[in-house]
Amino acid sequence: MFHLTTALDAASAVPLYEQLYQSLAAEMRAGAIPAGTRMPGKRRLAAELSVSVNTVDAAYQILAAEGYLEPKERSGFYVQEYLALPPRPERAPGTPAKPMEPEAPAGEAAPPSPPVRYDLSTRGVDPALFPFRTWARLQKELLYSSPELLTHGDAQGDWELRQALADYLEEYRGVQCSPQQIVVGAGLEYLLGLLAPLLPGKAAVETPGYPRAKQVLENNGVECCCLPVDEDGLSIEELSRSGASVCYVTPSHQFPTGVTMPAGRRAELLHWAAKRPGERYIIEDDYDSEFRFDTRPLPSLQGMAGADGPVVYLSTCSRSLAPSIRIAYMVLPEHLLPAWWKTYRLYASTVGRFEQQTLARFITEGYFTRHLARERVAYKARRDALTAALNAAFAPGQLRLAGLHTGLHLLASLKNAPPDEALRRAAEAEGVRLNLLSDYDLTGARHQTGTLVLGYGSLDDAACASVGQTLKRVCTEAREASVNP
């Protein structure tokens, strides 16, 4: 028999049975109540602790369910054998619980990071443009009328959404596909990660380019080579010499340069893939083709190649709706479907069925195209306001703007630019969040560019006028700092 040291606090917000359970479990883990011990009867323990029998019974039942106790009929509860957990590694004295910020030079206090006044990052969108009322109404109707959506759905995504996407893509992007070819998933990174094992050999990626794509491919064992982008997009000559069998491109709006790959270069790229059918593939990331302001978009590469061509088409709702609505989609060539099903037929869809069905109705009932039209008007006005502010702040010839025709970011190249690192520091000091073109050099070289990559998706309309003067001040401070370090 053991001596019970349990003490209960009736004034605690934790229920008495929970206190008793925790106390007994801790003693069993510590070996204070050895294995094989017969626990006191419920009535006896209840009397000792001045609690109800129900309190003791509840604690015993939890301990039995978790394997601490074994109930034996007409005999009581016995303590089970418990293998103590291995000791946790001790943190060395002075080691922080989380990584520390870089230390300031000796004798200097690290200055606090200023708050972000202007977010000019490329991933931002304007949440005020989200169609809250329509989306909420459609989802509420589904919630009350479609209980079957609480069950498992199709691994590739609900049929209704895939049909809606196939119709939309055919009409607006020239994509030729059936719903069977579409896979819906929670983000481009997830879909690209699933696609990677199905593709052969080395992959070529654009530089400057999208760092996440390269990282996802490499994380999935795909060797990547970085090929340069010129005024027409990825160099096909470099691609042919690279030995790559997969090519990842953003032809409609090259990220981040904003270049649109012309029809001739697209045809060259398709001929490169056609030379080795089934052995070469193009991954077409059409991440923001909805936002083309001044010209009609060229047809997708996938549409030029056909339903069973060598192109895998990727796109997302992150910019057209919101990043937190994790709905992206991929169109596979018909001949890749057997490999997809063989590898992933037991997987579950990573997008909730209510969100899928809401988007399906949002598209088929015409709300999506009207929503995009409103977004284009709002973002075009914001682009115009930002470019006007930049042109007013900088002297003629001091700033060259590019990539204005589509997407939610533009490039601003400075004449006689200060070092990129000085620009980064000055922007942070002014509370401006932005990137430079050198940040997207996937070779890691980060060559000096003097080019700002300015996203205006999440920029407040009222702030556009002052952004120009702030960026002018950033450039001036960067020049002074580089002359007088």
Q: Which of 221, 323, 305 is nearest to 267 (CA)?
A: 305
Q: How far is CA 332 from the centre of its chain?
A: 21
Q: Is cis: bond before 102, omega within 30 of 0?
A: no
Chain-centroid distance of CA 250 in Å reads 18
Provide the 3-class DSSP secondary structure of residue 207: strand
**Please, are residues 227 and 234 in contact by the beta-carbon 8 Å criterion?**
yes
Q: Which of 117, 126, 172 is nearest to 381 (CA)?
A: 126
Domain ranges of the chain: 16-79, 118-127+371-483, 130-366
CB-based contacts of 357: which residues, under 8 Å, 6+ apart? 142, 146, 149, 158, 160, 161
Which of 415, 424, 411 lies closest to 454 in space, CA to CA?
411
Please state whether 7 falls in left (phi above 0), alpha (psi between -120 and 50) or beta. beta
CATH code for the part of the protein at 130-366: 3.40.640.10
Asked if 256 contacts 208 with a C-beta cutoff of 8 angstroms, the reply is yes
Asked if residue 71 has a cis previous peptide bond (ω within 30° of 0), the answer is: no
pLDDT (tens digit per residue) in 399-432 = 999 988 888 999 999 999 999 999 999 999 999 9
Topology given in CATH for the domain delimited by 16-79: Arc Repressor Mutant, subunit A (1.10.10)
Q: What is the pLDDT of residue 98?
A: 58
Q: What is the pLDDT of residue 104?
A: 46
Count CB neighbours of 472 within 10 A. 18
Residue 289 confidence (pLDDT): 80
**Which element (helix H / strand E) includes 76?**
strand 76-79
Contacts of residues 320-324 at CB distance under 8 Å and 24 or more positions apart, as own/partner, are 320/290, 320/368, 320/371, 320/372, 320/375, 321/130, 321/359, 322/125, 322/127, 322/130, 323/123, 323/125
Measured over the CA atoms of residue 426, residue 429, residue 431 and residue 433, the dihedral's sign is positive
Token pair 């306001």 is found at 385
Q: Are 379 and 267 in contact (CB under 8 A)?
A: no
Q: Report yes or no: 348 and 155 within 8 Å, Cβ to Cβ.
A: yes
* Calpha distance 474→456 (Å, rounded): 17
- How far apart are alpha carbons 389 and 471 in whole angstroms? 10
Sorted by sequence, the CB contacts under 8 Å of residue 106 that are 6+ apart come out as none
Tell me the C-alpha distance between 330 and 213, whole Å: 14
CATH fold label, 118-127+371-483: Aspartate Aminotransferase, domain 1 (3.90.1150)
Given a cut of 70, the residues of the chain with pLDDT beneath it are 1-6, 83-85, 91-113, 295, 297, 485
Q: Which of 182, 190, 130 is nearest to 156 (CA)?
A: 182
